Amino acid sequence: MKIQSKAVHAGDRKKPAAAIPVSVPVHTAASYFYETTEQLDRVFAEDEAGYCYARYDNPTRQALEEVMTSLEGGHGALACASGMAAIQIAIETALTDRRRSIVSAGALYGATLKMLTSMLEPAGAAVRLVDICDLEAVRRAIEETRPGCVLMETVSNPLLRVGALDEIAGLCRAAGAPLVVDNTFATPLLLRPLELGASIVVHSLTKFLAGHGDVLGGAVICDEAHYPTLRTLGKTAGPVLGPFECYLAMRGIKTFPLRMERQCANACRVASWLASHPRVARVHFPADPSHPDANAIRRLFPEGCYGAVLSFEIAGAGREEVFAFMDRLRMVVRATSLGDVHTMALYPAMSSHRDISPKQRERLGIRDNLVRLSVGIEAAEDILADLEQALR
């Protein structure tokens, strides 16, 4: 079954009954009882399928987890309360019974970097940041540190760099270090890291998958080897997504392939138009033939689908000029997220990478004239018209 069909059907119509609902209901019960205590005991022991407590499992959440497992080609999944909760539980899953040492891409979402340096390092984890697009540097870091896991994004935020995921997965396998991949920007429509050798995949469900800006959530999908640990940590730490949010995310996922295809096409048009604009100094987008990671992109991504996020630098602009550009936008939404049906503009120095020092942002290439754009499903002509009048 192709991904477009999986998105529509996976997880639905599971419970045998005289009348089966065509979409999964919202199950809000916190706990469950059975006719006999003996049966409840079997459910607690997982000797019999069933539900006992909502932190452990929930029918609506289970349906969403089935969808995510299907889309990513994994063994199992855990739906979490946010994308950041998903990243934390994914890293802890990878490090259980392994050295608390992480080799991580240096170019990551700002909150992920802050988690590594402000939470995990003080708690005893050794973190080594590396240019994930420099394969030799990744190889050296793995050989020198023998990490418990390696962490990367499929497409980096916000400069859209693409590491050679398949080759990095090979290095990780040889070192016995699970590869944890944040696949939020690419989505399983473009790339499925588990099929390329990753062990654990993370998504912010808030973004392209749910897609309508009305639900906060995350998901961890993993291979068979890590699934028991993931479920145990999910039960113990309880970072799970509520049933109504699971329902909303699952409803959004049904149309995500359609939306993503349109958003990818729109993003290509917007990136090409921006590249020729006199007020734009540089555009960062994976479809660019001169992209520094063009070889990996050609090998890993389907032709014509390069994601729906791009960033661009306004020539000669600083914070004040970027704010003025943002304030002139009429249709494009100025908001801190991405992946919604509407086009969104964000200033990384103010939001996604606010907690990163100016010197570190400069080292990462995130300058004060950089704007990130998440392209929506509107008519491309209307998106371009709004950008045109705002760039005056």
Cα 386 to chain center, whole Å? 28
pLDDT in tens, 303-329: 999 999 999 999 999 999 999 999 999
pLDDT in tens, 146-155: 999 999 999 9
User: pLDDT > 90: what percent of the chain?
Assistant: 86
The pLDDT of residue 349 is 78
The pLDDT of residue 354 is 67
The mean of the pLDDT values for the chain is: 94
CATH number corresponding to 256-390: 3.90.1150.10
pLDDT in tens, 255-299: 999 999 999 999 999 999 999 999 999 999 999 999 999 999 999
Helices assigned H by DSSP within 238-379: 243-253, 256-275, 294-300, 319-328, 358-364
Instruction: Give the mean pLDDT of 349-365.
Output: 69
Q: Does residue 352 register a pLDDT over 70?
A: no
In SS3 terms, 48-78 reads as CCCCCECCCCCHHHHHHHHHHHHHHCCCEEE
Q: Does residue 363 register a pLDDT over 90?
A: no
The pLDDT of residue 17 is 59
Instruction: Give the mean pLDDT of 188-201.
Output: 98
C-alpha to C-alpha distance for 52 and 58, rounded to whole angstroms:
9
The pLDDT of residue 339 is 97
Give the H or E element holding residue 128. Answer: strand 126-130
Helix axes 256-275, 380-390, angle to 10 degrees: 40
Two structure tokens written together for 326: 């943002």
Q: Does residue 355 register a pLDDT over 70?
A: no
pLDDT in tens, 43-97: 999 999 999 999 999 999 999 999 999 999 999 999 999 999 999 999 999 999 9
Question: Any idea where the domains of the chain sit in the sequence?
Answer: 3-253, 256-390
C-alpha to C-alpha distance for 316 and 142, rounded to whole angstroms:
40
Q: Does residue 357 register a pLDDT over 70?
A: no
The pLDDT of residue 356 is 67
Give the H or E element holding residue 220. Answer: strand 218-222
C-alpha to C-alpha distance for 30 and 57, rounded to whole angstroms:
10
Helix axes 135-145, 165-175, angle to 10 degrees: 20
pLDDT in tens, 6-48: 888 888 766 655 678 888 999 999 999 899 999 999 999 999 9
The pLDDT of residue 5 is 85
Q: Does residue 130 register a pLDDT over 80?
A: yes
Q: What are the residues whose beta carbons fall under 8 Å from the beta carbon of 392, sequence distance 6 or more?
A: 328
Determine the topology of domain 3-253 in CATH: Aspartate Aminotransferase; domain 2 (3.40.640)
The pLDDT of residue 353 is 66
C-alpha to C-alpha distance for 188 and 207, rounded to whole angstroms:
13
Asked if 308 contacts 264 with a C-beta cutoff of 8 angstroms, the reply is: yes
C-alpha to C-alpha distance for 80 and 77, rounded to whole angstroms:
10
